[in-house]
């Protein structure tokens, strides 16, 4: 091409040099001479005036073909996966509540498993997981069980049971870790509500990132706000910061899952393996807790 800007016509612009170079390569493959130049903080793809119409048509066909190649994520709720994820949550909560209250094997599960900020900072990382399975009384347990079953069902049905379960456990643990880092050393925290809010965060961020219908994008976040208002803000024993950190941690996981789904989707058995690995991590956490303080 001649170096006379008056003969050039803009056919594409982007703030990403890589995307401009990608489109320039498409045109070169079709025998259309072009060049990419910086322009007002972005990059412009220019072709000769005589080639402008043909170039735009080739780019349109390229975009059309690219959209056709991209697999659309399955937005349907997978009921079986949702039921498995919810069942895992419910059975885990009930099993450990039974073990704790009966002081099974003569061990002090309560003292060994609660999250105490100072001990977590001192290296007892397992407490951020074990604390998710401890509850103060029947009301505390019932609230977390009811809401947890609902949001775990939705997370498992949306992501697959393995990825949903792993995300809820790990994001809940991350929420407890952040809470421990922000609280005074003597602060103690228990309950699955951090994991429940993590599930809400996962669903909200995942729905937002996927850019589905507007109502689908706002519904999980609306549910989280309602849940926060109902069980997250009241009572002297309510750990509001843990709920907020759980929600934030879940949001990070949800964004990551959506990006993974778009660019490198996991096979079903990979998701199953992640779910099993997360379960084994919880078992390991309790094993270390009981060996250290049981």
Residue 155 contacts residue 203 (beta carbons within 8 Å): yes
Residue with tokens 């895992």: 88
Q: Output the pLDDT for position 272.
A: 95
CA angle 283, 289, 291 (to 5 degrees): 100
Inform me whether the pLDDT recorded for 13 exceeds 80. yes
Query: What is the average pLDDT across 65-80?
Result: 67
- The reply to whether the predicted model has a pTM over 0.75 is no
pLDDT band at 208; cut points 50, 70, 90: confident
Domain residue ranges of the chain, discontinuous segments joined by +: 5-69, 79-293
Range in 92-96, 166-170, 212-216 the model is least confident about: 212-216
| Per-residue pLDDT reduced to its tens digit, 159-173 | 999 999 999 999 999
Q: Output the pLDDT for position 220.
A: 59
CA dist 213 to 143, 206, 219, Å?
30, 13, 10
Inform me whether the pLDDT recorded for 45 exceeds 70. yes
Q: Where are the alpha helices (DSSP H) in the chain?
A: 17-29, 52-69, 79-101, 109-113, 117-121, 127-130, 138-159, 161-182, 193-210, 214-227, 240-263, 268-293
**Cα gap 224→240, rounded to integer Å:** 13
Specify the CATH superfamily of domain 79-293. Rhomboid-like (1.20.1540.10)
Residue 116 contacts residue 176 (beta carbons within 8 Å): no
The CATH architecture one would assign to domain 5-69 is 2-Layer Sandwich (3.30)
| Per-residue pLDDT reduced to its tens digit, 127-158 | 999 999 999 889 889 989 998 999 999 999 99
């Amino acid at each position: 091409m001649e170096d006379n800007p008056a003969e050039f016509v803009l056919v594409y612009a982007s703030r990403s040099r890589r995307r401009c170079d990608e489109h320039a390569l498409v045109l070169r493959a079709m025998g259309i001479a072009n060049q990419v130049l910086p322009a007002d903080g972005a990059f412009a793809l220019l072709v000769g005036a005589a080639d402008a119409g043909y170039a735009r048509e080739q780019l349109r066909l390229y975009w059309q073909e690219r959209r056709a190649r991209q697999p659309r994520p399955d937005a349907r709720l997978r009921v079986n996966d949702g039921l498995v994820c919810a069942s895992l949550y419910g059975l885990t909560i009930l099993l450990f509540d039974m073990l704790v209250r009966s002081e099974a094997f003569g061990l002090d599960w309560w003292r060994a498993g609660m999250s105490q900020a100072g001990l977590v900072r001192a290296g007892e990382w397992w407490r951020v997981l074990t604390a998710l399975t401890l509850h103060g009384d029947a009301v505390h347990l019932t609230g977390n069980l009811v809401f947890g079953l609902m949001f775990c069902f939705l997370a498992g049905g949306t992501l697959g049971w393995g990825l949903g379960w792993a995300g809820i456990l790990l994001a809940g643990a991350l929420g407890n870790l952040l809470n421990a880092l922000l609280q005074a050393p003597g602060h103690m925290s228990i309950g699955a509500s951090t994991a429940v809010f993590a599930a809400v965060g996962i669903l909200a961020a995942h729905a937002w990132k996927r850019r589905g219908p507007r109502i689908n994008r706002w519904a999980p976040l609306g549910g989280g706000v309602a849940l926060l208002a109902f069980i997250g803000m009241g009572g002297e024993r309510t750990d509001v910061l843990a709920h907020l950190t759980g929600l934030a941690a879940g949001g990070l996981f949800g964004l990551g899952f959506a990006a993974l789904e778009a660019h490198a989707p996991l096979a079903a058995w990979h998701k199953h393996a992640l779910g099993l690995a997360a379960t084994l991590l919880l078992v390991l956490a309790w094993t270390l807790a009981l060996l250290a303080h049981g």
